[in-house]
Amino acid sequence: MPAIAMAASALAPAMAQVAPGGPATPYVDPAKAYLFAHMTKERYGVLYYSVSLDGLHWTRINGGKPVSQDYHGHASIAQGGDGRYYLVGNKSDEDPLIRFWVSDDLIRWTPFGTYQPDLSNIPGHPHTLARIGAPKLYFDKPSGQFLLSWHTPNEDGNREDPERYWASQRTLYVLSKDLKTFAAKPRRLFSWDMATIDTVIQPDPRGGYCAVIKDERYPSYEWTTGKTIRISCASRLLGPYPLPGAPLSPNFREAPTLIRAPNAQDWLLYYEQYAGTSYGLSMAPTLQGPWYQVSGNSGVAEWNRYEVPAGTRHGSMLEISRKEYDALRAAFPNG
């Protein structure tokens, strides 16, 4: 028997162990867990926690109550080079300040400082409006810098053309070593002329970085990728990023958040069907794909491969240790 045929024959029994659509038991690493810091449909901008051991089945903790009375925003958490966790938010898009909190344990958050970006004279983004949408944090270990990003428009909407406002959104960024001082004025992260919001950065194990974005144009025959989640990968943190690839989600999805599954073999990309209708999930073995959409939140238990608590809205997921998971469950019990 040829070597290739022998290899395929040897793999066949292993591949047949779980038939497509058949029951599957998610892998759980005894050292790993996940935290989802998010808002809810009922209380926009307020901080809630959900947790998971497998990255697929999520449980709201603290009896479904908020975990902070101080925080407001689209929760985005990054662990800095000092091992501490940093959380970013703002009071609203009209808030001129981006606000930071810090925590040693993800339980107690302390105000850390504020940053007021200068939105004037941004190259390639004239007449920028004084609005700051969904600030997000990423800590880049190789450079020891935080990348702080958000989206800002340069046109107002109106009743006749409300989407003009959203079509003018662009992703802006600044770099900082300490979230106290910032290297330069804000700049556009992407050079392409396409509306983007909700950008998150993920280092690629194969090298370089991938930006997960929401294509914020309204879908049409001329722009079929509108309101979908897409991905663009580059060799350097600040790019240049090529035009993003095909959609990884259906239309009218936003707020992507990305984690590595406990088996370290799959990427789990979650996104919200807004406004607060449900969470969707796409999965791939590499950031370049192939991606497919996973069944969940269907109301039919035997179809579901994942579950996110009803009413969950914008936030960010991060991998934590089992010790941190146990501490969170103890600090925010459901009983």
Q: Which two tokens stand for residue 60?
A: 């709201």
Give the distance from CA 267 to its chain's centroid.
12
* DSSP per-residue codes, 35-88: EEEEEESSSTT--EEEEESSSSB-EE-GGG--S-SS--SS-EEEE-TTS-EEEE
**In the beta sheet, which residues pair with residue 73?**
none
Q: In terms of C-beta density within 10 A (0-12 exposed, 13-18 middle, 19 or more buried), how is residue 214 classed?
A: buried
Query: Residue 180 carries which side chain, given as an amino acid letter?
Result: K
Cis ω on the peptide bond leading into residue 262 (within 30° of 0)?
no
For the chain, percent of residues with pLDDT exceeding 70? 95
Q: What CA–CA distances, in Å, run from 180 to 71, 99, 203, 208?
A: 19, 11, 24, 27
Tell me the three state secondary structure of residue 164: helix
User: In the block, which residue shows the tokens 């930006």?
Assistant: 211
Asked whether residue 37 carries a pLDDT value surpassing 70, the answer given is: yes
pLDDT at 259: 98
To the nearest whole number, what is the mean pLDDT of the chain?
93
From the list 253, 118, 256, 242, the residue with the least C-alpha distance to 192 is: 242
Q: Which two tokens stand for residue 56?
A: 């697929």
Taking only the tens place, the pLDDT of each residue in 227-258 is 999 999 999 999 999 999 999 999 999 999 99
Cis ω on the peptide bond leading into residue 240 (within 30° of 0)?
yes
Taking only the tens place, the pLDDT of each residue in 104-159 is 999 999 999 999 999 999 999 999 999 999 999 999 999 999 999 999 999 998 88
Taking only the tens place, the pLDDT of each residue in 78-103 is 999 999 999 999 999 999 999 999 99
pTM greater than the 0.85 cutoff: yes
DSSP at 313: E
Q: How far apart are CA 126 and CA 169, in angstroms?
A: 12
Q: In terms of C-beta density within 10 A (0-12 exposed, 13-18 middle, 19 or more buried), how is residue 291 classed?
A: buried
